[in-house]
């Protein structure tokens, strides 16, 4: 199994569907932003072959060459997004979801009306610059995985009930139904209304916060001298210590001291109905492979099992009905050895699905393959109360 993000280049093209005029082009190499741009002739050819198919009522969605995967997607007959990836092991599933997240980011920061009713191309180009940082975060290596799973990256603090109570009270006092606490782009706690936000809003909002640099402009809360001079103190001063414990949680996701088997090197837990996930490669951090490699292995494994073994996450009522009808034929577990299957070699990857939860584990090479299902089952039961 290849490792997504292992060298290679990703090019993202955004064009006006009717005219083919490029609106922007963003690139990354080896997971980092790159200035490399595609020649206009190549951009024109990629868009031209897509439009040619549309004129013949043929939907061209993807293509592969010897070393590159290309995916096209049209949104509202107004915006065409094209992504080309030469990263080793990249999957069409990953690229399709990348395009969905990119368009969602454009809508988030520009608005759907501006994208579906393009009056002035040059003005739209300037407005879309506000989305570059968020878009670039989808192209590079990230410690989060919501862009791929389309589930909200979460962390579990040790005193979540105190933080939840403070947040709910603060949101009510501030007169808003939508509020969340975010650390490193992951949600610590959120109001009920916030959790009812659909995909991709609930994923995009914390991702946006996580993509902002420390020196970026912010909206700052203020104390109104007469109206509410003590609003923040009232709700947050009593939980200042629990808030501080959230700061280092970021990539760890789980509370300090949470019991995991020593062989577990990384995990991804998804709740497919709640659309939330826990993702960490922090366990046994001093062992090989590196955290970056662990993230790539789990991302690639997720793409593989979602595309080939497990059904897509249910979305519409029709999807759920179809999923229920095929449930008897769906596998419940699978595993993969990355490398030669010999004692002490090759990383073990195992996936297990029980009810609405799906667990993916990256396990050390010393763990025997015959014990993987038992290890995954035990780990899933331990994690179930958290998500």
Rounded Cα gap, residues 236 and 174, in angstroms: 13
What torsion, rounded to 10 degrees, do the Cα atoms 188, 193, 199, 201 define? -70
Using the predicted structure, report yes or no on whether residue 224 has a pLDDT greater than 80. Answer: no
Using the predicted structure, report yes or no on whether residue 336 has a pLDDT greater than 80. Answer: yes
Query: In the prediction, which pLDDT does 287 show?
Result: 75
Q: Which residues pair with 81 in a beta bridge?
A: 14, 73
> Between these two residues, 75 and 286, which has the higher pLDDT value?
75
- Pinpoint the residues of the chain covered by CATH 3.30.450.70: 9-141
Give the orientation angle of helix 132-139 with respect to helix 92-110, to 10 degrees.
170
Architecture of domain 9-141: 2-Layer Sandwich (3.30)
Rounded Cα gap, residues 191 and 179, in angstroms: 6
pLDDT digits (tens, 9 = 90+) for 94-151: 999 999 999 999 998 888 888 999 999 999 999 999 999 999 999 988 889 999 999 9
185: left (phi over 0), alpha (psi -120 to 50) or beta: left
With contact defined as beta carbons under 8 Å apart, do 375 and 363 qualify? yes
> Between these two residues, 309 and 270, which has the higher pLDDT value?
270
pLDDT over 70, % of the chain: 87
Q: How far is CA 210 from the centre of its chain?
A: 12
**Kind plus residue range of the DSSP H or E element containing 340:** none
With contact defined as beta carbons under 8 Å apart, do 97 and 103 qualify? no
Using the predicted structure, report yes or no on whether residue 168 has a pLDDT greater than 60. Answer: yes
Rounded Cα gap, residues 38 and 27, in angstroms: 9
Query: In the prediction, which pLDDT does 226 show?
Result: 58
Q: Specify the CATH number of the domain 260-312+329-386.
A: 3.30.450
Model-level pTM? 0.86
Strands (E), 236-340: 264-271, 276-280, 333-338
Rounded Cα gap, residues 139 and 231, in angstroms: 40
Query: In the prediction, which pLDDT does 344 show?
Result: 64
With contact defined as beta carbons under 8 Å apart, do 82 and 15 qualify? yes
For residue 279, name the pLDDT band (cuts at 50, 70, 90).
Answer: very high
For residue 316, name the pLDDT band (cuts at 50, 70, 90).
Answer: very low
191, two tokens: 């109001």
Sign of the Cα torsion 180, 277, 133, 214 reads positive
**Phi, psi at 223, each rounded to 5°:** -95, 120
Using the predicted structure, report yes or no on whether residue 195 has a pLDDT greater than 70. Answer: yes
Q: How many beta carbons lie within 10 A of that of residue 321, not counting itself?
A: 11
For residue 267, name the pLDDT band (cuts at 50, 70, 90).
Answer: very high
Mean pLDDT throughout 317-337?
66
pLDDT digits (tens, 9 = 90+) for 341-383: 666 677 899 999 999 999 999 999 888 888 999 999 999 999 9
């Amino acid at each position: 199994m290849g490792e997504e993000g292992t060298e290679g280049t990703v090019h993202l093209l955004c064009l006006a569907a009717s005219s083919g005029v490029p609106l922007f082009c963003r690139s990354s190499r080896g997971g980092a932003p790159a200035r490399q741009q595609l020649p206009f002739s190549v951009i024109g050819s990629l868009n031209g072959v897509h439009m040619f198919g549309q004129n013949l009522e043929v939907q061209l969605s993807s293509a592969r060459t010897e070393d590159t995967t290309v995916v096209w997607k049209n949104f509202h007959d107004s915006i065409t997004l094209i992504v080309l990836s030469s990263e080793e092991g990249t999957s069409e599933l990953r690229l399709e979801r990348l395009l969905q997240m990119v368009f969602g980011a454009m809508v988030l920061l520009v608005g759907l009306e501006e994208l579906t009713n393009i009056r002035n191309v040059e003005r739209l180009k300037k407005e879309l610059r506000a989305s570059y940082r968020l878009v670039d975060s989808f192209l590079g290596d990230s410690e989060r995985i919501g862009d791929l799973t389309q589930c909200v990256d979460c962390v579990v603090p040790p005193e979540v009930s105190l933080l939840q109570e403070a947040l709910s009270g603060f949101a009510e006092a501030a007169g808003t139904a939508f509020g969340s606490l975010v650390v490193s782009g992951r949600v610590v706690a959120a109001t009920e209304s916030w959790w009812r936000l659909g995909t991709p809003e609930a994923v995009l909002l914390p991702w946006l916060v996580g993509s902002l640099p420390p020196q970026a402009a912010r909206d700052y809360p203020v104390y109104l001298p007469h109206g509410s001079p003590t609003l923040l103190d009232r709700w947050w001063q009593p939980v200042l210590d629990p808030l501080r414990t959230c700061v280092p949680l970021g990539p760890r996701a789980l509370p300090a001291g949470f019991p995991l088997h020593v062989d577990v090197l990384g995990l991804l837990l998804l709740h497919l109905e709640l659309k939330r996930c826990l993702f960490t490669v922090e366990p046994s951090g001093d062992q090989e492979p590196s955290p970056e490699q662990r993230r790539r292995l789990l991302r690639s494994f997720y793409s593989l099992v979602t595309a080939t073994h497990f059904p897509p996450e249910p979305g519409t009522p029709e999807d759920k009905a179809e999923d229920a009808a095929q449930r008897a034929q769906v596998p419940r577990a699978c595993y993969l050895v990355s490398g030669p299957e010999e004692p002490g070699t090759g990383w073990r990857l195992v996936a297990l699905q029980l009810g609405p939860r799906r667990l993916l584990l990256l396990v050390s090479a010393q763990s025997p393959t015959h014990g993987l299902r038992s290890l995954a089952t035990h780990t899933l039961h331990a994690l179930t109360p958290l998500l």
